[in-house]
Amino acid sequence: MVKVQTAILLSLSLVLTSCLSVKQARIKPPQIEFTLQRVAFQIGDTKIHAQIRQFGTNRLTLVNLHDDEQASVDAAVVVLEKRGGRLIELTHSRNRRVAFILSGKEYSFDPNRIFSSAGVRKTVRGTGAIPDNAYAAVEQFAGEFIRHFNLDQLGAFIALHNNGNGGLSIHSYEPGGDLAADTDEVFVSPEVDPDDFYFVTDKHFFTELKNRGANVILQDNTIKRDDGSLSVFAGRRGIRYINVEAEPEHFDAQIRMIETAMELIR
Q: How confident is the model at residue 17 (pLDDT cuts 50, 70, 90)?
A: very low
Report, as an integer, the average pLDDT of 12-37: 63
In a domain, 23, yes or no: no
Model confidence pLDDT, tens digit, residues 197-253 = 999 999 999 999 999 999 999 999 999 999 999 999 999 999 999 999 999 999 999
In a domain, 13, yes or no: no
How many domains does the chain divide into?
1
Report, as an integer, the average pLDDT of 166-185: 95
pTM recorded for the entire structure = 0.88
Residue 128 domain boundaries: 34-265
Q: Which helix (H) or strand (E) holds 53?
A: strand 46-55
In a domain, 224, yes or no: yes
Predicted pLDDT of residue 3: 42
Predicted pLDDT of residue 26: 61
In a domain, 12, yes or no: no
253: phi > 0 → left, psi -120 to 50 → alpha, else beta; which?
alpha
In a domain, 7, yes or no: no
In a domain, 41, yes or no: yes
pLDDT > 60? residue 265:
yes
Model confidence pLDDT, tens digit, residues 60-114 = 999 999 999 999 999 999 999 999 999 999 999 999 999 999 999 999 999 999 9
> What percent of the chain is predicted at pLDDT more than 70?
89
Which CATH number covers residue 148? 3.40.630
Model confidence pLDDT, tens digit, residues 142-174 = 999 999 999 999 999 999 999 988 789 999 999
In a domain, 175, yes or no: yes
Cβ neighbours for 159, distance < 8 A, ≥ 6 positions apart: 62, 63, 64, 65, 230, 231, 241, 242, 243, 244
